[in-house]
C-alpha cells in the first residue's frame, strides 16, 4: 500500500529521523538578523541560567523585601494603604520583648517565648532570647515550654493569605474585598460589657441606673485577662497590630491589638492609624492593649458574668479583654470608650460624629447614633472627608481618631453612595454579607446573616479624604435623627439651649435606617 511515497507492512507509516527533519521546511529569518546562531535559522532565546536547585529555591526568589506604603503626613497618600509585614525594619528583638511583656501571665515570672513569623514558613525567623530562671518544674504547662509565633503588623495581602488558608468563611469577592463572618455575634453586646470600678474610676465615671458603665472588680478582670492570655499563648500563632489613635500628633495614643484571627488584624489595620516604618521602629510600649480572645468563651461561673461573652475594660491597667464574641466592632467601640476617658483629661472633647470640610475650609460636624447617616453624609464627594465616626475637638481644631471608615452595607448601591461603593475593593473587610456562590458578587439587600452588614476600609480609599485627617474649628454642627414618627420637622435651626437638649437626649428611632428619612437639626455658629 502506498502512502505519501512511503510504504510499510501492515499499513503503518514509518519515518527515519532524517526524513522527519526534512519533512518540514526550516524556519528562516532575515539575513543579518540578531538571532543567536546562524542568521538564517530561528533559535530559542538564550537567557542566563537562574541559580536554583529546587522548586522551593525558585519560589524563594518570588519575594523581595520592600518598605510598606502608608498615608503620608504632608497631605497626600501613597498607593494602597499597607503597613509593615514581616520584613519591616523594626528591631525584632525589641518588638518581641515588648509583646512578650504584653502577653505575660499574671501567675508566671516571665512572658511567653515568642518567634516572629508564620509557623508554616520555612524561612528563618527571629526569636526573643530566653534566659530560664530555673529548670521546668512538674507543674509547668505545655504552653510554657513552646514558642508562639508573632505575625506583627502584616500587610493586607499577607492577612488575606492567612484568612483564606486558615479561617473558614473567608472569601474574596468580585471587587477584591475580603468577605468574612463574625460568628454567632453579628453586633455588639452592650449588656456583656464591663468596666473595672476602682478608687479612681468610682469618682470619675458615671455609675448606676441609666449608665452604660456596668461595673466589675479588679479581681474578676484579672481572672478574665488570665483566661484570654492563656488562650492566646496556647496558639501556634497570634496577630499583633501596633497602631495609633488620633491624627493630632500631640495627642495620639499608641495601641496594641493581640488577636487570634487574621480578619480581626485586618479590621484594625484599616480602622486605626497605620504607622510609618520609622514610627513603628520607635513604637515602644503601647498606651493601651486589647487582648482579643473572642473565639474562646468566658467562664460563666466567674463573678459578674451573665453569658459566655464578656468585654472588659480596665482603665487603670490600660487593657481590654474580649471573650466569647468575634464581632470586630467591639474593638473599635472599646477604643472609642477609652478615648472618651483619656481625652477630656487633656481638655479635649471626644465626639461620636462624622466630619468633612468644604473647599473654603468650612468644617461641618455630623452627630447621630448608629444608622442615622454620619458616614453617608460625611462622605460627600463635593467636600473633603476628615472622618466618618469618631473625632476629637481641641483648641487647635478637629482631628479624626481613626484611620478608616466602618460603613453600613445594607441596601448599599452605586447610585446612592458611589464613594463607599468604590471603596469596597482589595483591602476592605466585608462582615457578614451574602454573595453569589459562583461570581462572588455581593447582594447588599440580603439580610440572611444579619441586617448589620458592614464594610471596614482605610480612609484613603475615599478619593477626597483629607490626609492628615485634621481641620479647623467647625462652622456648622448638624444633629441627625431617624424620626419614624414625624415628630421632628425635616430641618430646624436651633439656639444654644435647644442644641444642648437634643445633643444630650440623642433622640432616634430603633428602625432600619434605610426605611426612614433623616431628621436634621442644624445650628450655625
As annotated, the active-site residues are 188, 333, 352, 370, 374-375, 389, 454
Place of cell 426605611: 515
Q: Pick from 377, 338, 397, 359: which is nearest to 519 by CA?
A: 377
How far apart are alpha carbons 327 and 189 in whole angstroms? 9
Q: Are 77 and 467 in contact (CB under 8 A)?
A: yes
Instruction: List Cβ neighbours of 83 (8 Å cut-off, separation of 6 or more).
Output: 68, 70, 153, 154, 155, 243, 269, 274, 275, 280
For residue 273, which of 422, 425, 77 has the smallest C-alpha distance?
77
Buried b (16+ CB within 10 A) or exposed e, 100-111: bebbebeeeeeb
Question: Is the link from the previous residue into 22 a cis peptide, with omega within 30 of 0?
Answer: no
Q: CA torsion angle for 460, 465, 471, 474 (degrees, to 10)?
A: -130
Give the whole-angstrom CA distance, residue 81 versus residue 66.
Answer: 14
Three-state DSSP class for residue 471: strand
* Helix axes 262-271 and 156-166, enclosed angle (nearest 10): 150
Q: How far apart are CA 44 and CA 503, in angstroms?
A: 76
Question: How many angstroms separate the CA atoms of 466 and 289, rounded?
Answer: 28
Q: How far apart are CA 264 and CA 179, in angstroms?
A: 12
DSSP string, 110-156: S--EEEES-TT--S---B-----SSPPPTT--GGGTSEEEEEES--H
* C-alpha cell of residue 317: 491597667
CB 433 within 8 A of CB 290: no
> 258: which strand partners?
240, 291
- The owner of cell 514610627 is 279
Amino acid at each position: 500500500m502506498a502512502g505519501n511515497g512511503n510504504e510499510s507492512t501492515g499499513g503503518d507509516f514509518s519515518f527515519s529521523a532524517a526524513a522527519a527533519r526534512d519533512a518540514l521546511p526550516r524556519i528562516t529569518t532575515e539575513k543579518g538578523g540578531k538571532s543567536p546562531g546562524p542568521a538564517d535559522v530561528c533559535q530559542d532565546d538564550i537567557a542566563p541560567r537562574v541559580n536554583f536547585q529546587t522548586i522551593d529555591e525558585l519560589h524563594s526568589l518570588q519575594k523581595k523585601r520592600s518598605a510598606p506604603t502608608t498615608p503620608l503626613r504632608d497631605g497626600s497618600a501613597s498607593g494602597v494603604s499597607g503597613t509593615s509585614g514581616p520584613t519591616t525594619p523594626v528591631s525584632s528583638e525589641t518588638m518581641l520583648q515588648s509583646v512578650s511583656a504584653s502577653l505575660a501571665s499574671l501567675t508566671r515570672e516571665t512572658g511567653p517565648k515568642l518567634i516572629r513569623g508564620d509557623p508554616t514558613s520555612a524561612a528563618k525567623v527571629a526569636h526573643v532570647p530566653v534566659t530560664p530562671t530555673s529548670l521546668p518544674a512538674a507543674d509547668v504547662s505545655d504552653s510554657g515550654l513552646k514558642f508562639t509565633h508573632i505575625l506583627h503588623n502584616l500587610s493586607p495581602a499577607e492577612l488575606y493569605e492567612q484568612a483564606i488558608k486558615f479561617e473558614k468563611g473567608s472569601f474574596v469577592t468580585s471587587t477584591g474585598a475580603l468577605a468574612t463572618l463574625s460568628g454567632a455575634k453579628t453586633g455588639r453586646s452592650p449588656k456583656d460589657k464591663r468596666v473595672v470600678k476602682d478608687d479612681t474610676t468610682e469618682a470619675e465615671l458615671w455609675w448606676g441606673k441609666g449608665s452604660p458603665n456596668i461595673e466589675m472588680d479588679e479581681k474578676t478582670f484579672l481572672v478574665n485577662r488570665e483566661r484570654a492570655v492563656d488562650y492566646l499563648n496556647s496558639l501556634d500563632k497570634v496577630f499583633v497590630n501596633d497602631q495609633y489613635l488620633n491624627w493630632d500628633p500631640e495627642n495620639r495614643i499608641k495601641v496594641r491589638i493581640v488577636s487570634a484571627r487574621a480578619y480581626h488584624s485586618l479590621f484594625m489595620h484599616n480602622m486605626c492609624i497605620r504607622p510609618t516604618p520609622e514610627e513603628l521602629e520607635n513604637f515602644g510600649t503601647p498606651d493601651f492593649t486589647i487582648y482579643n480572645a473572642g473565639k474562646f468563651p468566658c467562664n460563666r461561673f466567674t463573678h459578674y458574668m451573665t453569658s459566655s461573652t464578656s468585654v472588659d475594660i480596665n482603665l487603670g491597667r490600660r487593657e481590654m479583654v474580649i471573650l466569647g464574641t468575634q464581632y470586630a466592632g467591639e474593638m473599635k467601640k472599646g477604643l472609642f470608650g477609652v478615648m472618651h476617658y483619656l481625652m477630656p483629661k487633656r481638655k479635649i472633647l471626644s465626639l461620636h460624629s462624622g466630619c468633612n470640610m468644604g473647599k473654603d475650609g468650612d468644617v461641618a460636624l455630623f452627630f447621630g447614633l448608629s444608622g442615622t447617616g454620619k458616614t453617608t453624609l460625611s462622605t460627600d464627594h463635593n467636600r473633603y472627608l476628615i472622618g466618618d465616626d469618631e473625632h476629637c475637638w481641641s483648641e487647635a481644631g478637629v482631628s479624626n481618631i481613626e484611620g478608616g471608615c466602618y460603613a453600613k452595607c445594607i441596601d448599599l448601591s452605586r447610585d446612592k453612595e458611589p464613594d463607599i461603593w468604590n471603596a469596597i475593593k482589595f483591602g476592605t473587610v466585608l462582615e457578614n454579607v451574602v454573595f453569589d456562590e459562583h461570581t462572588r458578587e455581593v447582594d447588599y439587600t440580603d439580610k440572611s446573616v444579619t441586617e448589620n452588614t458592614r464594610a471596614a476600609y482605610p480612609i484613603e480609599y475615599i478619593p477626597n479624604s483629607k490626609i492628615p485627617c485634621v481641620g479647623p474649628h467647625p462652622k456648622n454642627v448638624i444633629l441627625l435623627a431617624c424620626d419614624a414618627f414625624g415628630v421632628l420637622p425635616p430641618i430646624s435651626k436651633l439656639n444654644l439651649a435647644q442644641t444642648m437638649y437634643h445633643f444630650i437626649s440623642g433622640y432616634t428611632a430603633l428602625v432600619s435606617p434605610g426605611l426612614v428619612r433623616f431628621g436634621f437639626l442644624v445650628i450655625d455658629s
